[in-house]
């Protein structure tokens, strides 16, 4: 990958990664080299990803499909909705699970998987429930909000691939739009007929204790913390970077919009996550060889 050396000259998108130093006005064009160098020297680089990571794979944000739902997502994604409005609840999740089949990891996901193989990601904490990090090959993934890739029976706790929830007949989305949708037997456990639920954290539920404790430990031990595609507006997203910075970590934030934690950051980058990671990975890859595969 060509290096950006000339100030003010934008070439292709992969080379137009520009950072806004948190403490300075204006743009700094040598930030990719600087960030890559800091990343390479870090003992415990930790990455935190939010919805912006998956948007670059073309995964539709369920909030942007708001016109489709008959209730607000905040009230649909609850146990109360499962019990009192099961048609609405199941359609909401069937739609989202079905959309997962159409997307694959983007260059940002692949870059993180490569960085992990190079020993440059000690923990990957994500708010995303789409499983795209694992699909790209990342192993050290902590999912704070659970996963949309599996469903579990509320009665016997049997777990299944979430695709079992998708109706067999093809016209279910049209039926919903026409007000004729009813959930079917695909929403019930094949073993005991109990209701199936997605293995995500619903509104009103606690974060999985084990995942949260693991994330906190990683944040506290981190000396280089990277936030990718999160607005950092609410907990737990806004807690993790603060834990890291409190313990002396350098903070890199890559997000399209300003975040409340920008002032804590060493670097704030407004560019595509894929472009930023590809540029950084390109530099680091030249220096490190992955362990041999036999």
In this structure, what token pair is assigned to residue 81?
A: 């909705």
Q: 3-class SS at 125?
A: strand
Q: With CB under 5 A as the contact rule, which of the stretches 103-111, 154-162, 217-225, 245-253 interacts with Zn ion?
A: 154-162
CA–CA distance, 56 with 133 (Å, rounded to integer): 13
196 forms part of the interface with Zn ion (CB under 5 A): no
Q: Which of 189, 258, 243, 179 is nearest to 213 (CA)?
A: 243
Q: Which pairing describes strands 267-269 and 19-21: parallel, antiparallel, or unpaired? A: antiparallel
Q: Using the structure block, give the residue that is written with the tokens 């399209």.
A: 256
> Cβ 158 to Zn ion, closest distance in Å?
5
- Mask: binding to Zn ion, 172-191, rule CB under 5 A, as x and -? -----------------x-x
In the complex, what is the shortest distance from the CB of residue 152 to Zn ion, in angstroms, rounded to a whole number? 8
How many amino acids of this chain bind Zn ion (CB under 5 A)? 8
Buried b (16+ CB within 10 A) or exposed e, 26-60: eeebebbeebbebbbebebbbbbbbbbbbbbbebe
Q: Which of 73, 194, 258, 282 binds Zn ion (CB under 5 A)?
A: 194
192 binds Zn ion (CB under 5 A): yes
Binding to Zn ion in span 31-60, by CB under 5 A? none
Instruction: Closer to Zn ion by CB, 124 or 187: give it.
Output: 187
Report CA dihedral (48, 278, 291, 142) to the nearest 10 degrees: 20
Query: Which residue, 73 or 194, has its beta carbon nearer to Zn ion?
Result: 194
CB-nearer residue toward Zn ion: 16 or 155: 155
Looking at the annotation, which residues are catalytic? 145
For residue 291, how many other CB atoms are within 10 A of its CB?
9
Query: Which CB sits closer to Zn ion, 46 or 189?
Result: 189
Select from 153, 240, 243, 269 the one that contacts Zn ion (CB under 5 A). Answer: 153
Count helices and strands (H / E) in the chain.
Answer: 11, 10
Positions touching Zn ion (CB under 5 A) are: 153, 155-156, 158, 189, 191-192, 194
């Amino acid at each position: 990958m060509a290096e950006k050396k000339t100030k003010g000259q934008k070439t292709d998108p992969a080379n137009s990664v520009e950072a806004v130093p948190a403490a300075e006005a204006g743009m700094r064009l040598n930030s990719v080299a600087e960030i890559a160098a800091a990343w390479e020297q870090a003992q415990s680089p930790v990455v935190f990803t939010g919805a912006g990571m998956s948007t670059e794979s073309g995964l539709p944000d369920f909030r942007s499909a708001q016109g489709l739902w008959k209730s607000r997502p905040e009230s649909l994604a609850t146990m109360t909705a499962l019990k009192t409005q099961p048609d609405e609840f199941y359609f909401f999740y069937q739609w989202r699970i079905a959309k997962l089949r159409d997307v694959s990891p983007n260059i940002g996901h692949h870059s993180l998987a490569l960085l992990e193989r190079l020993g440059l990601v000690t923990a990957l904490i994500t708010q995303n429930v789409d499983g795209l990090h694992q699909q790209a090959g990342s192993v050290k993934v902590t999912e704070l909000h659970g996963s949309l890739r599996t469903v579990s029976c509320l009665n016997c706790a049997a777990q299944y691939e979430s695709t079992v929830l998708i109706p067999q007949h093809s016209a279910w989305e049209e039926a919903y739009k026409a007000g004729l949708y009813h959930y079917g037997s695909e929403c019930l456990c094949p073993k005991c007929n109990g209701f199936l639920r997605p293995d995500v954290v619903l509104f009103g539920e606690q974060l999985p204790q084990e995942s949260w404790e693991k994330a906190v430990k990683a944040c506290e031990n981190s000396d280089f913390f990277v936030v990718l595609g999160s607005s950092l507006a609410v907990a737990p997203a806004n807690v993790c970077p603060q834990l890291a910075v409190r313990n002396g970590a350098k903070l890199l934030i890559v997000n399209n919009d300003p975040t409340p934690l920008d002032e804590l950051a060493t670097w704030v980058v407004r560019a595509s996550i894929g472009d930023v990671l590809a540029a950084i990975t390109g530099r680091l890859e030249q220096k490190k060889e992955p362990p041999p595969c036999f």
